Amino acid sequence: MAEGIFRHLVAEAGLTGRFTIDSAGTGGWHEGEPPDRRSIATAKGHGIDISGQHARRIRSSDFRDFDLILAMDRDNVAALETIAPPEASIRLFGDIALRTGEDIPDPYYGGPAGFELVYTRLLTGCSSLLEALGAERASCSGNTSSVR
């Protein structure tokens, strides 16, 4: 959902050509699949279409191609740090986008309320992130990735 929300906000701001946005997982078990149907429904309920997204596993080139890689939880930060070169910029979404240090929970095993909660946290964080990146645009190429 983070990729779709951030893409939507960037498009609304008229900045589509200024950012490269993608998402990937640390595992490849869902590679090539669309988002969970409940994520699609939640995003659609808020006017965002994520049905065209497909899961992929993070690649070594991502650490070179993206200026900022955001992980949704500490376990993924740790997993990324074990495979990333030292110069990679890996941050916890809750630190940089929300400034709360919180992990974004995986709503997979819960009900619709969990997907709505995650959507709300991601929307808040993506809005703040876009505002921050807009202010820092002169020193950032705008390549952003999120990892679950």
Q: Are 20 and 138 in contact (CB under 8 A)?
A: no
Q: In the 8-state DSSP scheme, what is residue 98? A: S
End-to-end CA separation in angstroms for the chain: 10
Instruction: Quickly tell me which residue has 């807009």 as its tokens.
Output: 134
Residue 106 appears among annotated catalytic residues: yes
Closest CA to 58 of 34, 22, 91: 22
Identity at 63, one-letter amino acid code: F
Select which of 65, 67, 103, 106 is catalytic.
106
Identity at 45, one-letter amino acid code: G
- d(CA 142, CA 13) in angstroms, rounded, equals 14
User: How many beta carbons lie within 10 A of that of residue 27, not counting itself?
Assistant: 13
- Give catalytic residue positions: 106
